[in-house]
Structure 1
Amino acid sequence: MLDIIIGNRAYSSWSMRGWLAVRLSGLPFTETLLPMWSPEWDLARATGPLALSGKVPTLVDGDVTLWDSLAIVEHLAEQTGRDRFWPTAPSARALARSITAEMHSGYPDLRRDCGMNVRRTYAPAPLTPATQADVDRIVALWTLARTRFGGTGDYLFGDYGAADLMFAPVATRFRTYTIPLPDIAARYVEAILAHPHVAEWIAAAHEEPWVLDRYER
């Protein structure tokens, strides 16, 4: 049985990605939620399942432990078949991997200025030029994927997959901060937020009792 260890659903974008990956795998799993910056969190990072990295998400699969969202995706793809996570056509799969890797390592200004908070919707506010550049780059990649490989589906490569779950927290940020988007990107955000797995995560976040001031505007 897999166990996915996550932080607060309201705020932890990386936890969301790891959890969505496990959900997409279709494999049975349990989840362990550790409220961030709590005594339980500190203990888990010191001597418990987070001791290897101090990070969430962490996936425990028997004697295998992974603590990086993209590594979790690849581990699950190896077990369940890569076509569950990645497009089958080589050109589409190459683009999906490239934009997913760019998301994984990029967009520092968007991350810093627009932290994930799925329980809030703020009035529009001007973005810094650097943050706007991150938004523009993401929109350009989404547009490229949708126009080349989206077909009749609602997601970047038609069917929901790894690229979509990795960008899901970005979609929540665009809604939280009411960031203006062109039509193709706006429709994609709506599709992602309506996906049953994403909607399940957000609904659970609204039931959490914890409010962390460092993540609130």
Structure 2
Amino acid sequence: MAAGTAELELFVRESLGRGMSREATAAALASAGWSPEQVRDALSAYAEVDFPVPVPKPRPYLSAREAFLYLVLFATLYLTAWHLGSLLFDLVNRAFPDPADPAYMWSAGARSMRWSVASLVIAFPVFVFVARHLSHELQRNPVKRLSAVRRWLTYLTLFLAATVLIGDLITLVYNLLGGELSVRFLLKVLVVAIIAGTVFGWYLVDLRREEKEA
């Protein structure tokens, strides 16, 4: 696979270097069986500038610092989402207590709320700080948007958010079919849907924007 990619890059470089247009190069590669994505990626590696030889675009590289920042960013995002949901669940439990065991719910809910508040007080500001820092770096150097660790963690986040949304809907339908819909249950379903949906929508729009700018 690596050898094939190297041959593709070599062909594109030589084709452009001999004055062939991008359209003609793409057509030749397509007729040879290369996929549109492979052709587009190979051609996008060279800038569309008026110069006798192909001018390569800068390529992103993975640094330990970059990996650290993105790992902190997404770890604090997950912590924030989890504990925000936990806190809202506890508030729902207090607003609509379980008549079967109100004393236990009150004591357990108080401990859970303390953990959630403590986590949000630390994790959310760290998330905002790191997100703003990385946003400024991307504005100064847009090529970093192609960072492999950034894209992998973004797609992982989309996968997790989509999984949570699907599970949330399955739980809703299951209880609906069983006739076990209560205000307390519906509020919890809504909490999960809003948190997971917000995360999914935000990062999906971000990826779509990158694809349009690419």
TM bracket, shorter-chain basis = under 0.3
TM-score, normalised via structure 2 length: 0.25
Higher helix proportion (structure 1 or 2): 2
Higher strand proportion (structure 1 or 2): 1
